[in-house]
Amino acid sequence: MRVLVTGAASALGQEVAAALSADENAQLRLLDDCAAQRQDVEWIAARLTDPDTVRQVVRDVDVVVHTGEPPPASESEEALLDRATRGTHVLLQAGVEAGVKRFVYGSTLEVFRAYPDTVYITEYYKPLPPTEMAVLARYLGEMTCREFAREYPITVTALRLGKLVREEEVAGRERDLMWVDIRDAAQAFCAALMREASASLNWVPRWAVYHIAAPITHPKFLLDRAKSMGYRPQREFRGAEA
């Protein structure tokens, strides 16, 4: 299985690539704006918004894991918006044209920030993104992915990720209901790759959304759907203060 991972220089991209590397059947191709950070796998330095290059990048790929992560260097609002929307469109259009059938997108649970912490939130709740561009752009990228899943015989899995942290680094701090350990988030991407194991689109929704948060007691974000997809979070943040 040849897997393209975008945003490969980001912390999430690195973690996803590391998790996928454990699968000896996975052959990785990593993409980001910056120079190669790993020498042991194929690394392509290119911008998502460059259609000619992206068409080359998606060749011979079976799965595209589009982490949605911006590059480590900060970007303007306009650049964030352009990367999340036009960049996602370029990537999925090129992928569809190259025959890629499976896509996974990294979205964010921050679109539910406006809801109170006193209710359970499921995938059936309506996103209410804030105007903060890092969140709004991520959501618009998710909408772009949804349209491709509607229009083409492909599957797209959107993982709405909580705030990415490492359990041990936030021990003793007040618990945030949106936390998720970045290693668990990476496992969710691996699980999402296998969502349509039946290999028959007749039995698999082309578009699916899952909420990826920590498996804490009385969570704000219910994980039943994600667990049915194969999400197996390990970090419960017991060291954090409730």
Partner 1 sequence: MKKKVLLLGASGMIAPDLLPGLEDTYDVTLADVAPHPDGKPIVHCDVSSREQVRDAAAGMDAIMNFTVMRDHPEQSFHVNMRGALNVMQAAVEHGIKKVVHTGPQFVRRTYDHDFDIADVPPVLTTGYYCLTKGLASEICRTYARAHGIQTISFLFNGLGPRPTQSAGDFQPFTVVWEDLHQACRLALEIPQVPDCFQEFNLLSWEGHGKYNVDKARRILGFEPTERWERYFARNVNDQ
Looking at the Cβ atoms of 112 and 139, the one nearer to partner 1 is 139
Distance of CA 232 to the CA centre of its chain: 16
Closest separation in Å from C-beta 38 to partner 1 = 31
Residue among 7, 5, 225, 48 nearest 144 (CA): 48
Looking at the Cβ atoms of 23 and 50, the one nearer to partner 1 is 50
Closest separation in Å from C-beta 70 to partner 1 = 17
Closest separation in Å from C-beta 187 to partner 1 = 30
Q: Which long-range contacts (CB under 8 A, 24 or more apart) does 110-115 make?
A: 110/135, 110/138, 110/163, 110/178, 111/135, 111/138, 111/139, 111/160, 112/220, 112/221
Closest separation in Å from C-beta 93 to partner 1 = 7
Cβ–Cβ under 8 Å, residues 149 and 142: no
Cβ–Cβ under 8 Å, residues 155 and 189: no
Looking at the Cβ atoms of 2 and 86, the one nearer to partner 1 is 86
Looking at the Cβ atoms of 89 and 195, the one nearer to partner 1 is 89
Looking at the Cβ atoms of 100 and 223, the one nearer to partner 1 is 100
Q: For residue 200, count other CB atoms closer than 10 A to its CB.
A: 8
Q: Is 177 left (phi over 0), alpha (psi -120 to 50) or beta?
A: alpha
Closest separation in Å from C-beta 106 to partner 1 = 18
Q: How far apart are CA 196 and CA 238, in angstroms?
A: 33
Which spans of this chain sit near partner 1 (rule: CB under 8 A)?
51, 77-78, 81-82, 85-86, 89, 92-93, 128-131, 136, 139-140, 143-144, 147-148, 150-152
